[in-house]
Amino acid sequence: MISAVCWVPKGIAKPLPDSVEPPSQEEIQELLKLPVESGSDDNESSEEDNNSEEENEGMVVETNKSKDAVAMALAAADAIGNKSVEFPRELKVDEIADGLKELDMEHYDDDDEGIDIFGNGSVGGFYCPSSDMGKYPSAVDDDEDEIEDMTIKPSDQIIICARNEDEVSHLEIWVYEEQTEEGGSNMYVHHDIILPAFPLALAWLDCNLKGGDKGNFVAVGTMQPEIEIWDLDVLDAVEPSIMLGGVVKCDTSRNIAKIKKKKKNKQAATYKDGSHTNAVLGLAWNSEYRNVLASASADKSVKIWDIVAEKCEHTMHPHTDKVQAVAWNSNQATVLLSGSFDRSIVMMDMRAPTHPGVRWLVPADVESLAWDPHTDHSFVVSLEDGTVRGFDIRVAVSAVDSEGKPMFTLHAHDKAVCTITYNPAAPNLLATGSTDKMVKLWDMTNNQPTCIASTNPKVGAVFSACFSKDSPFLLGVGGSKGNLHVWDTLDNSEVSRRFGNFRPQN
């Protein structure tokens, strides 16, 4: 499934991303020497028996390592191109020596004497003429082709997908070409990033964590309490650039002896200062205060992070249940919305983070929030019951009862409306996506929503949809089938008729 999608602005990504240095063989060997963590009390006696048998058989190289160590070693080996690494349970030193002697690696590069591998051009041999037609493609040609394939052009659009497939979680970085030489569009996966946990939320940000003006990063919220921030301009990265919050890591060498004692008396996890203590369900980057990131969590809290300082600046508890979504007001950059399973939306101003804020009640769990980018006073919320409601904050602020009534209530879908997004260029154009597998476009003029287009993008239940800022009528959609779909909404005649004049001019 694809749980979240987001676009990267044009021209931000490096034309040719950097590559991380692969680990050395010495580093891999160090990883393999990590101590073994015993699994359970029932296995302790059998492990002791195995150890005694190994001692009787003679000197062996221990390879029964912890799961984490083996996984790290496999990843490291894969990074240096060794895709056939095996880890036998027992490997005797004598067998290793015999194998190396047979391979005779010291003379591996020596020229073979007396052997004419390709013949001399006569019958029975292989002859390659000196003309260009007979030349094999050179390594230089292969390198040039690979560089061309990996180069991101300024005209390319980039889409990030948070995907889970066969219990493997990762980010996919797609390149979308609007106009190809053959005509039409094309898209493909440029590279991917393996994640340690199921991804739930994404937020692209350009605050450069490595110094300088701007960067190309994505924040990822997962089923774990930490927030990972990855550099999208680095290939084959095995760890994020920074991690906000999370569980305090134990020193394995010091604590391995205490594992048996702790198994019978499990202790609560120890979290870093300011960390969430449950899954991170929503993220929002502040495009004006570029070092600021907001997060929503199943631990019922909303947090404000300084990603440069790598610390939590404020923690708010405006809700009594899981907080599903957060959204910054693009026209009033200090104003933040949060929506929760407690069936309420709260508006807070970070200039007064201790203030309880303004609250609106809704009849179902909140799924998604979106500020209208063309005004500074209205927003929409999508709910689990299939409805969408619009609010004007001026009504709530001026009313004695802060539980202001909505400007409109729209029965948009038959099932939960998981995602809602405004078009960044065309005022009053709104897109909704639902677990009923449909994506719909709405004309919101005068707060009287009218459905002007709908489609089944064949992605299953729709979990995420987002308009591109550079090509604002392109809508990226992801869902339960794991397919990424890009819909050019101007292909619909009614959308083109109503909003075609907002098409960007090349």
pLDDT (mean) for 399-424: 84
The CA-based angle 481-484-489, given to 5 degrees, is: 120
User: Which residue would you say has higher pLDDT here, 315 or 53?
Assistant: 315
Residue 127: C-alpha distances to residues 133, 188, 231, 392, 430 (Å):
13, 40, 49, 80, 66
Specify the pLDDT at position 48: 46
Q: Is the pLDDT of residue 179 over 80?
A: no
- Token pair 């996984």 is found at 71
Q: Return the CATH number of the domain spanning residue range 1-11+144-246+268-297.
A: 2.130.10.10
pLDDT (mean) for 225-254: 83
Specify the pLDDT at position 356: 87
Q: Between the ranges 171-185, 213-227, 249-263, where is the mean pLDDT highest? A: 213-227
| Residue 99 confidence class, pLDDT cut points 50, 70, 90 | low
Least confident piece of the model among 201-215, 343-357, 431-445? 201-215
Residue 318, both tokens: 């405006």
Residue 150: C-alpha distances to residues 171, 173, 334 (Å):
17, 12, 39
Task: Identify which of 250, 240, 241, 297 has the alpha carbon closest to the alpha carbon of residue 274.
Answer: 297
Nearest-Å Rg of the Cα atoms of the chain is: 28
| Residue 58 confidence class, pLDDT cut points 50, 70, 90 | very low
> What are the extents of the domains in the chain?
1-11+144-246+268-297, 18-107
User: Which residue would you say has higher pLDDT here, 30 or 198?
Assistant: 198
- DSSP E strand stretches across 223-365: 227-231, 234-235, 242-244, 280-285, 292-297, 302-306, 311-316, 323-328, 335-340, 344-349, 358-361
User: Which residue would you say has higher pLDDT here, 52 or 356?
Assistant: 356
> Are 1 and 460 within 8 A, CB to CB?
yes
Question: What is the crossing angle of helices 67-79 and 25-32, to 10°?
Answer: 170
pLDDT (mean) for 185-204: 91
Q: Phi/psi class of residue 192: alpha, beta or left (left: φ > 0; alpha: ψ in -120 to 50)?
A: beta
User: Which residue would you say has higher pLDDT here, 28 or 448?
Assistant: 448
Q: Which three-class secondary structure state does DSSP give residue 218?
A: strand
Q: What is the 3-state secondary structure (H, E, C) of 294-308?
A: EEEECCCCEEEEECC
| Residue 166 confidence class, pLDDT cut points 50, 70, 90 | confident
Least confident piece of the model among 217-226, 248-257, 431-440? 248-257
Q: Phi/psi class of residue 30: alpha, beta or left (left: φ > 0; alpha: ψ in -120 to 50)?
A: alpha
pLDDT (mean) for 456-483: 95
